[in-house]
């Protein structure tokens, strides 16, 4: 079993990587621990809460007890299926803010500024803006990844965008275009009523070339001879040999785990588990970041929310319509209104994101009722955690410690998120619909009362990243260089969200796919796509005004 390239992980970045390598005439083996992505729970957009709670599709990871969240262990779903987390996520498509990537470049990720990455976003997209406006000059067409918008016709969804404007914020026709800041419609990786995962966009076309093969199995270690990666050993003993390179694209959790199992990581930690050290890189597994969010939840008057479909009969009707026509409520992820705002004057670009949902419900589908909610949280928490080994056994789960809310600024930022959300829900647009506040509840007003709600109710937005940080080769905390090459080992790269130096604004699926696209060109030795000259919109009064 050999190929030019072995890609570990058939997720967002790995699928993109496999397609671009196969397209260039290279032979590729993709290793994926999970199985098929066939089935209605993955493919029906409105059923998104099901696959991330199914053992068949999800690794089922949980964090360590989080000391600043009362010892709670938070869910950390990761896709264990063809398509990886793009097959179980919420299908929301956010590129990230231009300044996120400029910051990467400033931190040593040369060639990853916004001017460098925008052409790759355009190359990967097939953007269908429909009737809800947009910014065509900033978007791509004809790429593998379909990006669409839901109808946005629910009155609560429309009220949220209107309320943002009434509260004095910008409205933006396209937060993935020139202007992220403001309120407007969400983009989604949905096409013709189905989830459009990285498997649909990239892996199936890669396999169709005849040069890409998927091997089901779990990688146990990267084989390294005389300082060069030569292949991958699976937990069942099979060995896959790479004639050119091994590319690890196994997620912000599994990529650092695999590197450490292979002898690449903090020497003392590897020694604890009896693993021979090949490259002492103290940054492997460190720098773990995520987005936390709170569901600010309101009861609603009337029957405008999605709750009317929540009965067994209602769900059956929605499912039948979707099954036979790929239309109706089931054809949308129901996240159709977005907001990106700045928490205070003096912050250059948005540091708060809103996901609006026209029903009151937990992400796992529990506790549904007539209502609406905004998922809100800070974008750039200063807290950092780590992924470490619990054992040298590849079957043992890694230790995932996010260290959420460990920085004092996190608490002030979260309180601001709640208070700004309440202000938006108090606008005139919500007057016909607004009931009582469910979470945090009207009684929670003081800092201490809000902190108690935060401690008890925040949840992960499922955006782990940063554990194989990209930086200059002389950065002791960097794991890979700006070409994705693991520092200290030849023929080995990492290409997924683990290489992000700092978390980007919004959901991570789009930047993960872009990472696979860009590193594929680097692997192939291609000249990078020409830099873009597009200048992002920055609020002209950002230094003195919050909105």
- The radius of gyration of the chain's CA atoms, rounded to the nearest angstrom, is 22
Closest by CA position to 519, among listed 139, 124, 189, 137 = 124
Helix residue ranges, H only, 24-113: 40-43, 98-106
Cα torsion 37, 38, 44, 50: sign: negative
Size of the chain in residues? 547
Peptide bond connecting 514 to the previous residue in cis, omega within 30 degrees of 0:
no
Told to judge if 463 belongs to the known catalytic residues of this protein, a careful annotator would answer yes
3-state percent breakdown (helix, strand, coil) of the chain, nearest 5: 30, 25, 45
Torsion of CA 403, 409, 410, 414, to 10 degrees: 170
How far apart are the C-alpha atoms of 536 and 533, rounded to whole Å? 10
Bridge partners, 8 (sequence order): 31, 248
Cα torsion 321, 322, 326, 329: sign: positive
Annotation-wise, does 81 bind a ligand?
yes
CA atoms within 13 A on the CB side of 267: 4
How far apart are the C-alpha atoms of 405 and 407, rounded to whole Å? 6
Any residues with CB less than 8 A from the CB of 425 and at least 6 apart, and which? 163, 296, 298, 374, 434, 437
CA 78 → CA 9, 58, 72, 121, 495, distances in Å?
A: 11, 5, 19, 23, 16
How far apart are the C-alpha atoms of 222 and 234, rounded to whole Å? 9
CA 86 → CA 356, 413, 415, 497, distances in Å?
A: 20, 29, 31, 12
Asked whether 547 and 154 are in contact (CB, 8 A), the reply is no
Closest by CA position to 256, among listed 369, 142, 401, 122 = 401
How far apart are the C-alpha atoms of 58 and 80, rounded to whole Å? 5
Ramachandran sector of residue 483 (left: φ over 0; alpha: ψ -120 to 50; beta: rest): alpha
Residue 39: both structure tokens together: 């089935």
> Of the listed 68, 146, 375, 463, which one is catalytic?
463
> What is the 8-class DSSP label of residue 275?
P
Asked whether 489 and 260 are in contact (CB, 8 A), the reply is no
How far apart are the C-alpha atoms of 483 and 492, rounded to whole Å? 11
> Which residues belong to the active site?
463
Which residues are annotated as part of the binding site? 81
């Amino acid at each position: 079993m050999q190929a030019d390239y072995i890609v570990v992980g058939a997720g967002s970045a790995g699928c993109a990587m496999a397609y671009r390598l196969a397209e260039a005439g290279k032979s590729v083996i993709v290793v994926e621990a999970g199985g098929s992505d066939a089935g209605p729970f993955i493919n029906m957009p409105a059923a998104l809460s099901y696959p991330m709670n199914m053992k068949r599709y999800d690794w089922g990871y949980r964090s360590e007890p989080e000391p600043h969240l009362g010892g709670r262990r938070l869910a950390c779903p990761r896709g264990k299926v063809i398509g990886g987390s793009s097959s179980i996520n919420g299908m929301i498509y956010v590129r990230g803010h231009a300044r996120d990537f400029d910051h990467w470049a400033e931190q040593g990720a040369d060639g990853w500024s916004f001017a460098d990455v925008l052409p790759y976003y355009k190359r990967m997209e097939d953007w269908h803006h429909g009737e809800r406006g947009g910014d065509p000059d900033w978007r791509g067409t004809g790429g593998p990844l379909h990006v669409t918008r839901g109808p946005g016709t629910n009155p609560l969804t429309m009220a949220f965008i209107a309320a943002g404007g009434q509260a004095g914020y910008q409205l933006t026709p396209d937060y993935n275009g020139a202007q992220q800041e403001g309120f407007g419609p969400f983009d989604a990786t949905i096409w013709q009523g189905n989830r459009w995962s990285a498997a649909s966009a990239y892996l199936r076309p890669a396999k169709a070339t005849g040069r890409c093969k998927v091997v089901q199995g779990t990688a146990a270690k990267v084989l390294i001879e005389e300082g060069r990666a030569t292949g991958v050993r699976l937990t069942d003993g099979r060995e896959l040999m790479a004639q050119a390179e091994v590319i690890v694209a196994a997620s912000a959790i599994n990529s650092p785990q695999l590197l450490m199992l292979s002898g690449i990581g903090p020497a003392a930690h590897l020694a604890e588990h009896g693993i021979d050290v090949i490259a002492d890189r103290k940054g492997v597994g460190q720098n773990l970041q995520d987005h936390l969010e709170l569901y600010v939840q309101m009861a609603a008057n009337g029957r405008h929310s999605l709750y009317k479909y929540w009965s067994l009969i209602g769900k059956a009707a929605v499912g039948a319509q979707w099954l036979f026509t790929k239309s109706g409520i089931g054809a949308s992820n129901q996240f159709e209104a977005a907001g990106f705002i700045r928490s205070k004057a003096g912050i250059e670009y948005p540091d708060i994101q809103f996901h609006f949902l026209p029903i009151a419900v937990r992400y796992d589908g529990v506790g549904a009722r007539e209502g609406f909610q905004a998922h809100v949280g800070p974008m750039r928490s200063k807290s950092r955690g780590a992924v470490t080994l619990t054992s040298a056994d590849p079957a043992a789960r890694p230790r995932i410690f996010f260290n959420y809310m460990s920085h004092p600024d996190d608490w002030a930022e979260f309180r601001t998120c709640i208070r700004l959300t309440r202000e938006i829900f108090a606008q005139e647009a919500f007057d016909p619909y607004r009931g009582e506040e469910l979470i945090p509840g009207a009684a929670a007003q003081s800092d201490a009362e809000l902190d108690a709600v935060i401690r008890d109710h925040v949840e992960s937005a499922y955006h782990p990243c940063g554990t194989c940080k990209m930086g200059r080769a002389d950065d002791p905390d960097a794991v890979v260089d700006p070409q994705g090459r693991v520092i200290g080992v030849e023929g080995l790269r990492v290409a997924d969200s683990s290489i992000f130096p700092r978390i980007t604004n919004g959901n991570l699926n789009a930047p993960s796919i872009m990472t696979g696209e860009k590193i594929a060109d680097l692997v192939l030795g291609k000249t990078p796509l020409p830099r873009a000259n597009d200048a992002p919109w920055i609020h002209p009064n950002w230094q003195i005004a919050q909105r």
